[in-house]
Structure 1
Amino acid sequence: MRRFLEIGKKTDGDPAPEAPEHRNALRIGTSGWHYPHWCGRYYPQDLPAAKWLAWYARDFDCVEVNNSFYRLPSPETVRRWCAQVPENFRFAVKASRLITHLKKLKQCEAALQAFLDMADAFGPRLGPILFQLPPRWRVNPRRLAEFLALLPPWYEYAFEFRDPSWHCQEIYQLLERYQAAFCLFDLAGRQSPVVVTARLIYVRLHGPARQAYHGCYTEAHLDVWAGQVRRWVHGKRHEVCLFFDNDACSCAVENALALKRKLGLNSNV
């Protein structure tokens, strides 16, 4: 397996990436924005779909791109997205399922390079890269170690392990060694361990209901998360990205706005 210096685009002579200390310490958003059922609930009923992202970016400074999991967007599409958001906006991008689900992190150099080429099109608006691993793939520390060694170090990474066998000390230590975030999540009534492995803390909230991506979090739920987030960002020790993925009935955007209010975060305009 080739290591990152052979697969990445930058060289030793390239400028170093912006240090995390200079980024926003806390970003809250949703997993995706292109939801027709948000019209009339969040987007104005008559707002064209081409303007949804710009509307979203008035309230939020980040979004998680999920369609890249199924098909990589073209550079032209990425540039069009970037033109609709302010400079401080960040796109967290979900890695292709070809890497995570079909190849399961093995012999995926070409797929990884294609994905990173796409991610580079976001330029300074690129946020963390998310690898979501499949729910019925048992823990494989060696496979993960080889893959982590392959990744260029100038991006931020998060790994969401859907199979609970990955929730173990050996995996946490691997992630910590490479400063990759263990993605915290809840899904269909199950919550991952709360483990911090990097300066970046990446959270995905898929909904409180037994049916994934459904249900709105209660005020009590949001109060708990607000308290946890305050502890994480206190003293600028961590950078937090938190995304609501309970998009049914526009719960995600409602919960994200409510959590921002609890934390005293203003809109993004």
Structure 2
Amino acid sequence: MIHVGTCGFCEAREKYFKDFDAVEVQQTFYKVLQEKTLERWRKKAPEEFTFSIKAFQGVTHPSNSPTWRRSNVKPSKNVGLLRPTNEVLHYWRITLKEAKVLGARFILIQLPRSFKEGEESFENAEKFFNAIDRGDFEIGVELRGWSEKGVKRFVREFDVIDVTDPLLRIPLHKGSVNYYRLHGKYEGGKIIYNHSYSDEELKKIRERVLGWNVEESFVFFNNTSMCRDAKRFKLILDLH
């Protein structure tokens, strides 16, 4: 089973709930949301609709990250990078509560490039995952700039889903669910979000997602043409 959606609602929510069967909520990364907002989304969504939420940036991103400019929270120097500080653990509890209110299935932890591959990061992650309550949620982690060896060690040690781009590499965890994020194209180690996927690229994504056979796959588009490309991808899936 392949579920298709976008990173954030790419169109009016009522229409989105008809066009797609899953969404990765982005607002929870930038801001702490009101419960009534999340309750309203859950109420309007079809019963079988899948929500994934992106963990608040206080868990993942240090205070010098430009992403904080869009936040409704002022960061301290102790936020981010899975450091087991009181602030990081506090923001994880907020994310966990939001996920419960929304009835989410997944929590995505998207780590910045400043979360470097190395023992310090592994030590922080070990303390973080030992300290937190995971609830009943499946946790996906997107590591940027890491080697395949480092990613494989991370997802196995901490029992998380390896979130990746199917055009880049095969998922390195072992489980019944794969979780993909499609940001656009890559040039010189940088992501070019301003990209529209060609039919050939979408067919290759389909081939790889189906080829890495698991019970379920979630494919979330996160490029500037994400709404259009996600709908085109659904058509390509339906044609085969």
Normalised by the length of structure 1, the TM-score is 0.72
Name the residue aligned to 1:112. Answer: 92
Name the residue aligned to 2:210. Answer: 230
1:216 aligns with 2:196: yes
Structure 2 residue matching 1:264: 3-state secondary structure: helix
Code of the residue aligned with 2:30 in structure 1: it is Y
TM-superposed deviation, 1:153: 5.7
Q: Per the alignment, do residues 185 and 229 of structure 1 end up closer, same or farther by CA in structure 2, a change over 3 Å counting?
A: closer
Asked if the contact 2:126–2:158 (Cα under 8 Å) also holds between the matched residues in 1, the reply is no
Structure 1 residues 32-83: Cα deviation after superposition (integer angstroms, max 9, x where no partner): 115xxxxxxxx6xxxxxxxx10101111001111111111211100011112
Q: CA separation in 1, counterparts of 2:18 and 2:123? A: 43
Name the residue aligned to 1:159. Answer: 141
How do residues 102-251 of structure 1 correspond to structure 2 at under 5 angstroms? Answer: 102=62, 103-106=80-83, 107=85, 108-123=88-103, 126-139=104-117, 140-149=121-130, 150-152=132-134, 154-162=136-144, 164=145, 166-185=146-165, 192-199=168-175, 200-208=177-185, 212-233=192-213, 237-246=214-223, 248=224, 251=225
Q: CA separation in 2, counterparts of 1:224 and 1:66? A: 26
TM-superposed deviation, 1:146: 2.4
Q: CA separation in 2, counterparts of 1:232 and 1:209? A: 22
Structure 1 residue matching 2:33: 3-state secondary structure: coil
TM-superposed deviation, 1:133: 0.7
Code of the residue aligned with 1:254 in structure 2: it is R
Name the residue aligned to 2:74. Answer: none
Q: CA separation in 1, counterparts of 2:114 and 2:96? A: 26
Name the residue aligned to 2:42. Answer: 82
Unaligned stretches of 5+ residues in structure 2:
63-79
Q: For 2:13, which of 42, 53, 68 is the aligned residue?
A: 53
1:260 aligns with 2:234: yes
TM-superposed deviation, 1:204: 0.8
Structure 1 residue matching 2:32: 3-state secondary structure: coil
Q: CA separation in 1, counterparts of 2:186 and 2:89? A: 37
TM-superposed deviation, 1:132: 0.8
Asked if the contact 2:96–2:135 (Cα under 8 Å) also holds between the matched residues in 1, the reply is no
Q: Per the alignment, do residues 145 and 182 of structure 1 end up closer, same or farther by CA in structure 2, a change over 3 Å counting?
A: same
1:31 aligns with 2:11: no
Q: CA separation in 2, counterparts of 1:185 and 1:89? A: 23
Report the more deviating stretch, 195-204 or 254-263: 195-204
Q: CA separation in 1, counterparts of 2:159 and 2:200? A: 32
TM-superposed deviation, 1:192: 4.7
Identity, % of aligned positions = 26
Q: Per the alignment, do residues 167 and 192 of structure 1 end up closer, same or farther by CA in structure 2, a change over 3 Å counting?
A: farther
Report the more deviating stretch, 91-100 or 138-147: 138-147
Structure 1 residues 129-158: Cα deviation after superposition (integer angstroms, max 9, x where no partner): 111111233122222222233342621111
Structure 1 residues 165-213: Cα deviation after superposition (integer angstroms, max 9, x where no partner): x334244133124431111038xxxx75423304221111111375632
Say how many residue pairs are matched: 211
Stretches (4+) displaced over 4 A: none
